[in-house]
Each structure stands twice: as C-alpha cells, then as structure tokens.
Amino acid sequence: MKTTVTTPEDSSPDKKELGLPANKRAWKRIEVVGIVLLCICLLMLLLSPTSLSGLFNAILDSVRPVVVDVFLTGVVGTAIIVSVIIGRLLERLGFTDALVRIFVPAMKLLGVNPAVIIPSVYNIFGDINAAGKISGPILKKAGATKDEQKLAVATMVQSQQSFSTFMLGLMALTFAGVNVFAVVLLAVFLPLVIVPLILSKTLYRDVKRVEIGHLPTFTPERDFMPTLFSAAREGVELLLLILIPAVALVFAVIGVLDYIGVWAPIETGLGRVMLLFNIHPETGVLSVLVSPTLAMGQLQSIAADLDPSLVVGSFVLASSGLPLSAVFGQVPVVWAESSDLSEREAMGAAVLGIVMRLGTAFLIAFFVTPLVV
C-alpha cells in the first residue's frame, strides 16, 4: 500500500487558494496586530522615551500593594491557607454530609441537587477560593449537572467570603441602630434559597431532584494529620499558583487604565452608581475593587453618622463574592480546575450572581430598612 506523506507546504490551504508561491504566506490577523503594536512602541520610544517605562512602573505600583502587602505578607494570604485547612478539616469531620442532610428538604422542593448549596456555606466560613477548591469536586461526586454547577457559583457569591467581613458588618449594623437579626436573615440566609429558586426556573433549568439515598457520602476516609498536612499544602498552592496570578492580572489592567487616564472617571462613576443603589459610595467602591473586609472595617467606624439605609446596603454588597478580582480572576480559574465548568462559564455565573446581589442590596436598603430601624 502506498503511503502519502503530507508536508506542511501541502497542508496549507491558503497558498493553493491564493496562488502564492511556496516561499510566501498570507498575512494573518494577529501578525498585523503585532506589527501595529511594534510600530506604536517604536514611535513611543522616539517621541516619548519614558512612556513605556512609566507604563511599566504604573502597573507595578498597582499590582505590588495588593500582591505583596495584602496576599503575601498580609492577613488575607494567611486567611486563605487557614480557610482551606479548616474547610478540609470540617469535611473530614462530616460537615459536608451534615449540610446535605439539612438542605435536602428545601432543595427537594425546588427540584435541585442539594449539593449546590455547599459552596455557599463553605464561603461563609472561609474563603471564596477555598469554597471552590473544596466544593467543585463535591458537586462532581454528587452528579450535579453543569447548570447546577453554574447555579452553585451564582449562589455562592451571595455569601461573604470572609468571617471577618461578617463580624465587622455586624458591628456596623449595630452602630447604625438597625435590627441585626432581621438584616442577617434576609441578606445572608434567605438568598441561599431564593437564588436557586429563581435561576433553576429561568436560566439554569437542567436540574434534577436527588433523593438522599442516591447521594454519595462525602466524608473522606483519611486520618486527621495527613488531612491537615495535605490541606495546608493545598492552601499554599492555591495562594501562589492560582490567586496571586489572577489578582496580579486584574490590577495590572487597572494600572494600565490609570496610566492612560481613564481609571479615575471609572472609579468616580462606580461611586455614583453605589449611591443610586442606596450603598455608601466610598465603602461600596472598596468592596467592588479592593476588599469587602476593608470596606466593613471603614464602615463600622462611621456607621453611627450615616443614613441606616446606606449602612444596610453596604453590608449586603460586602456580604458577597466581591471584589471584582475574585469574580473575573479567581473564581473562573479555581472552578475551571475543580469542576466541569470552563472559565467563561464560571465567570458568567459569578457575574450573574453579583448583579443579583447588587439588586438585593438595593431592595433591602430601600424597602426593608425602614421596617428594621
């Protein structure tokens, strides 16, 4: 049998179709983009030699405080590692199986796999990234569909990703003189049922009712010390290999926008949007861009002098999967690695959940606050 060997020249359809000789090749779009970019860089070096170095310094100034001061040497990085350890320890002690037992009745009424609620509860206790790292495999083991995994992400971002955010927020609500129990019930726990109810009937309808007898058990059969050691290593890998690169990317973009002079108007516009949604502008922008924990720390120091509705709106917004670096960077990367979702699918579900959270903040601040002050 005669074997035909196909060479790269033979397999290139553009040469035959365009009638180009063998020593030439048609320009690709990305090559044109590269040439234009090269010309722009050369022009900048000619007309303004410090522009490129200034842009690089602007990116460094934007990325370094967050990566180094917050994640590497600050409490946030340590909290991520500890939260993974605590999450794995709770899982080893039967925490996941207990949660499934508790939420089975409510999820059965909705016709949804009970495992979709697990990331939300892990998020309340620890960190949004640890919640994804731990809960993604749990959802797969429970046989959750891709729609149910998206539903889990959208529901997860309704909960605060730091216990310190929750405690500082409680202080702010107390200083503002509102009914703390009512706000927490409506803002933290009720969305864990309302969001699956809405989304399972509209966008994510590939859901199925699962009886407890058809669910696997989730408690791993491992000794405590190996569990703790592997969890600590997993937390460090999560911090260094996934979260810091994602955060650096987001703040590098912010640095570029700031250098070309468009970030300040964007930040100002965000503050105005916060005020329209009955959210304190300064702390609302902090929650969106930097850290909800930092926002609640600032809010509790000024809450007594603010309109209670602004305090409630800010608390509800901070009790979420924000900042944007988590929504657009960390959540997609973590869930793409630990679940059946792609980065785009995980990001879409997270963005949808945050938009719903913004609406929740407005509704509770505008309609509920007069009833609980």
Q: What is the DSSP letter of 160?
A: -
pLDDT at 71 over 90: no
pLDDT at 6 over 60: no
Q: d(Cα 158, Cα 186) in Å, to the nearest integer?
A: 11
Judge whether 216 and 142 are in contact, CB under 8 Å.
yes
Cis status, amide bond into 49, omega within 30 of 0? no
Q: Who contacts 151 (Cβ-Cβ below 8 Å, separation ≥6)?
A: 112, 116, 195, 196, 199, 200, 204, 207, 349
Which amino acid does the sequence have at 199? L
* pLDDT tens, position by position, 185-225: 999 889 988 999 999 999 999 998 887 777 777 777 777 78
pLDDT at 94 over 70: yes
Q: What is the pTM assigned to this prediction? A: 0.72
Dihedrals phi, psi of 322, to nearest 5 degrees: -65, 160
Q: Bigger pLDDT: 156 or 21?
A: 156
Token readout for 213 is 């007898």
Q: d(Cα 321, Cα 124) in Å, to the nearest integer?
A: 10
Say if residue 156 is exposed, middle or buried (CB neighbours under 10 Å; 0-12, 13-18, 19+): buried
Judge whether 218 and 98 are in contact, CB under 8 Å.
no
Region 292-307: mean pLDDT is 85
Q: d(Cα 131, Cα 129) in Å, to the nearest integer?
A: 5
Long-range contacts of 271-276 (CB under 8 A, 24+ apart): 274/317
The per-residue pLDDT of the chain, averaged, comes to 83
pLDDT of residue 323: 86
Token readout for 327 is 């929504």
* pLDDT tens, position by position, 120-145: 877 776 667 777 888 888 888 888 89
pLDDT of residue 124: 72
Banded model confidence at residue 239, pLDDT cuts 50, 70, 90: confident
pLDDT of residue 21: 63
pLDDT of residue 227: 81
**CA-closest candidate to residue 258, choices 37, 49, 41, 61:** 61
